[in-house]
């Protein structure tokens, strides 16, 4: 089993938090792939995965470049491996929703939120964001941290929907919903991390455009099976 991590970042001149993330993952022999100044996150992730020729048991991580994992490396790896090896597991992440309304804004309370993360510019300034139950199944996951076994990812189409206008928005909900629709179970799991970004890009036009297309191409409201 190998672990790969794909991390999109804007420049080869890495910020301190990105350098620390690469160092942390590399200490676990994770093969880190920096995706520098890409034009599309859909294309970057799709082509990156295809380039691996990964074995079924390999683990693929897709994550932001501004996260700080606050666990001992051994405990992080144990939690990660255990989560992706759950029976019928699709994507694993730290925050998501078991339901999605027609508005397709996953963090709205009515969507049965699950998971947990810290936010803030540093560990001294961080504050907790409690979404809901840990070790729980969800419909969709936030893209700040996603992991999946290669055997499952091989069964999920990673191409950008043709009608999406933006190249960087709603890939996480689209990918994780595709996994659900393919019959997999997505999970939140207690991998403790700090997310430096407050999410200010949510208001940009491409986010709203992709949100509307996403809402139109799927049948919402939607809730996980057997819930």
pLDDT in tens, 138-177: 999 999 999 999 999 999 999 999 889 889 999 999 999 9
CA–CA separation, 69 and 191 (whole Å): 8
Instruction: For residues 130 and 218, give the distance between their C-alpha atoms in angstroms, rounded to a whole number.
Output: 28
Report, as an integer, the average pLDDT of 13-23. 97
> Is the pLDDT at 202 greater than 70, yes or no?
no
| pLDDT digit string, tens, across residues 87-114 | 999 999 999 999 999 999 999 999 999 9
Predicted confidence band at 51 (pLDDT cuts at 50, 70, 90)? Answer: very high
Task: Of 1-15, 31-45, 84-98, 200-214, give the lowest mean pLDDT range.
Answer: 200-214
Question: What pLDDT digit, counting tens, does each position of 53-67 carry?
Answer: 899 999 999 999 999
The average pLDDT across 56-83 equals: 97
CA distance 150 to 61: 10
Question: Nearest CA to 65 among 104, 21, 128, 124?
Answer: 21
pLDDT at residue number 203: 60
Residue found by looking up tokens 């992709």 in the block:
210
User: What domains are there in the chain, each with its CATH number?
Assistant: 3-223 (3.90.550.10)
Q: What tokens does 111 get? A: 């969507």
| Residue-wise pLDDT tens digits, 126-142 | 999 999 998 999 999 99
Euclidean distance between CA atoms 102 and 219, whole angstroms: 8
């Amino acid at each position: 089993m190998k672990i790969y991590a794909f991390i999109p970042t804007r420049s080869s001149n890495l910020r301190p938090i990105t350098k620390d993330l690469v160092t942390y993952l590399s200490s676990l022999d994770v093969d880190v792939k920096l995706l520098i100044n890409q034009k599309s996150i859909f294309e970057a992730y799709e082509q990156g995965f295809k380039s691996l020729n990964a074995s079924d048991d390999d683990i693929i991580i897709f994550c932001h470049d501004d996260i700080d994992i606050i666990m001992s490396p051994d405990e992080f790896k144990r939690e990660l491996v255990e989560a992706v090896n759950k029976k019928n597991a699709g994507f694993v992440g730290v925050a998501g929703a078991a339901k999605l309304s027609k508005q397709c804004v996953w963090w709205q309370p009515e969507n049965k939120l699950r998971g947990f993360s810290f936010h803030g510019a540093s560990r001294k300034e961080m504050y907790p964001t409690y979404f809901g139950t840990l070790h729980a199944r969800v419909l969709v996951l936030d893209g700040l941290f996603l992991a999946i076994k290669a055997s499952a990812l091989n069964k999920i189409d990673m191409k950008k929907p043709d009608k999406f206008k933006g190249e960087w928005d709603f890939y996480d909900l689209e990918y994780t919903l595709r996994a659900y629709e393919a019959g997999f179970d997505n999970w939140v799991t207690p991998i403790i991390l700090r997310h430096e970004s407050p999410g200010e890009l949510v208001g940009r036009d491409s986010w709203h455009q992709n949100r509307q297309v996403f809402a139109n191409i799927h049948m919402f409201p939607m809730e996980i099976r057997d819930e």
